[in-house]
Amino acid sequence: MARIVMKFGGTSVANLERIRHVAGLVAAEVADGHQVAVVVSAMSGETNKLVGFVDELDADSANGGAIEDEYDAIVATGEQVTSGLLAIALRRRGVKARSWLGWQIPLKTDMAHSVARIEDITPDNLDASMTDGNVAVVAGFQGISEDGRISTLGRGGSDTSAVALAVALSADRCDIYTDVDGIYTTDPRIAEQAKRLDRISFEEMLELASLGAKVLQTRSVELAMNNNLPIRVLTSMAEDGVANPGTLVCHEDDTMDERVVSGVAYSRDEAQITLLRLADKPGTVAKICGVMSDANIIVDMIVQGRSRAENAANLTFTVGKRDLPKALEALESAKGKVGFEGIKSDSNVTKVSIVGIGMRSHTGVAQTMFEALAERNINVEVIATSEIKISVLIDSEYTELAVRALHNAFELQNA
């Protein structure tokens, strides 16, 4: 007997038929003698509908302060409905089950409504119910804040709910069911030859997730890595009896080390800002970072260039595309204080990245990457690297070309 946490995203519980199918997948694990907790998302479309209601009322006026507490109470109902429906579907299959809401567990979070972080899970009651033979059907994405209000963990938060619960319950594994059958070397919609990976390391997954591969939420991978909890990513669409191995996300092993590069990721959610003719004195970059952080904007890639003729520096960096108007406004009003002469911005850029723990022990990776891009005449605007990844910012028009070029250059079709 093992203790398993299974997580199903919105497309996996999109309607009653899919919910029945999920009940079948859960029932099969129960029939194998396992104790099961299931974490569910809202039926797909529900969250967007609810967020649409909130946005419309929110837009009525700029007055009246924050509404994230009420946003949370409203959108958390999506997961609440799914958890109840799946519990019913399980009972009607003869499987003992009950639903659990964030406040019932309780899954305690901080007060950052709509982007709350889990602080503590007390799984005693849930644990007792599971030991009693009940499947625990847990509404994902939600918790209870210190003041007894409903909180939510932000988009994709159900992954984090599942991993945190698996850790709290000392589960043997956490299976994340989704609409793809595993982690791929790149987006198969762009590169037909993309290959499903059998295994990938936490570190690589973390980079891929934060670089735009949307299968797992970054924080959930972090949490699994810190607690050495293996995550299996697999499809909920497979029919009974069809092999469904998925991808295991776990600590690195020898087989992974042999791969130089494991995947190519891309993100179109970037915008590039260049500040022209910056005052050439110490502390200018720090001042700019301060301006951005005061406006709650995360700065990603940064590169400083120098115009020899004018003895002045330009500074280029990227922010999230959604933050661009706010960033430009903040910079414009800090122009005098920081000291620069002009701003250029471009939201028509894509960040393309290669990721692999093998890069730590192999040389020539960057060379292969830049040669592959140069051969296709793809101009690189900004570069950022870490121990296991290299990211470049390019014109969005070249996104697919760059992804395919890099996938070929590192022979990922043979991964």
Site for a copy of itself (CB under 8 A): which residue of 73, 115, 237, 285? 73
Among the residue ranges 84-92, 178-186, 236-244, 316-324, the one whose residues contact a copy of itself (CB under 8 A): 84-92
Closest by CA position to 178, among listed 35, 352, 354, 25: 25
- Counting residues that bind a copy of itself (by CB under 8 A) gives 43
The strand pair at 342-355 and 263-278 is best described as antiparallel
88 is a contact residue toward a copy of itself (CB under 8 A)? yes
The answer to whether 54 contacts a copy of itself (rule: CB under 8 A) is yes
| List 47, 99, 178, 201, residue binding a copy of itself (CB under 8 A) | 99
Nearest CB to a copy of itself, comparing residues 102 and 246: 102
Taking CB under 8 A as the binding criterion, the range among 87-95, 115-123, 232-240, 347-355 that sits at the site for a copy of itself is 87-95
Stretch near a copy of itself under the rule CB under 8 A, chosen from 27-35, 79-87, 239-247, 293-301 = 79-87
Give how far the C-alpha of residue 72 lies from the chain's centroid of Cα atoms, to the nearest Å.
Answer: 19
Single residue of 3, 98, 155, 196 touching a copy of itself by CB under 8 A: 98
Residues of this chain, 204-243, that bind a copy of itself according to CB under 8 A: none
Q: How far apart are CA 228 and CA 222, in angstroms?
A: 10
Q: Give helix 68-75 / helix 77-92 axis angle, nearest 10°.
A: 20
* Residue 249 Ramachandran class (φ > 0 left, ψ -120 to 50 alpha, else beta): beta
Closest distance between a copy of itself and the C-beta of residue 18, in Å? 12
Q: How far is the CB of 16 from a copy of itself (least distance, A)?
A: 6
One of 2, 28, 32, 57 touching a copy of itself (CB under 8 A): 57
Q: Classify 268 in phi/psi space as left (phi over 0), alpha (psi -120 to 50) or beta.
A: alpha
Q: How many CA atoms within 13 Å lie on the side-chain side of 78?
A: 29
DSSP β-ladder status, 231-235 and 173-178: parallel
Q: Is 353 in the site for a copy of itself (CB under 8 A)?
A: no
Kindly tell me which residue out of 13, 22, 74, 249 binds a copy of itself, with binding defined by CB under 8 A.
74
CB of 46 to a copy of itself, least distance (A): 10
User: Beta-carbon neighbour count of residue 360 at 10 Å?
Assistant: 13
Q: How far, CA to CA in Å, does 293 sit from each of 210, 288, 331, 357?
A: 19, 9, 11, 31
Residue with smaller CB distance to a copy of itself, 161 or 247: 161
Tell the smallest beta-carbon distance from residue 285 to a copy of itself (Å): 39
Q: CB 59 → a copy of itself: shortest distance, Å?
A: 9
Instruction: Catalog residues that contact a copy of itself under the rule CB under 8 A.
Output: 16, 19-20, 50, 53-54, 56-58, 60-61, 63-65, 67, 69-71, 73-74, 77, 80-81, 83-85, 87-95, 98-99, 101, 103-104, 148-150
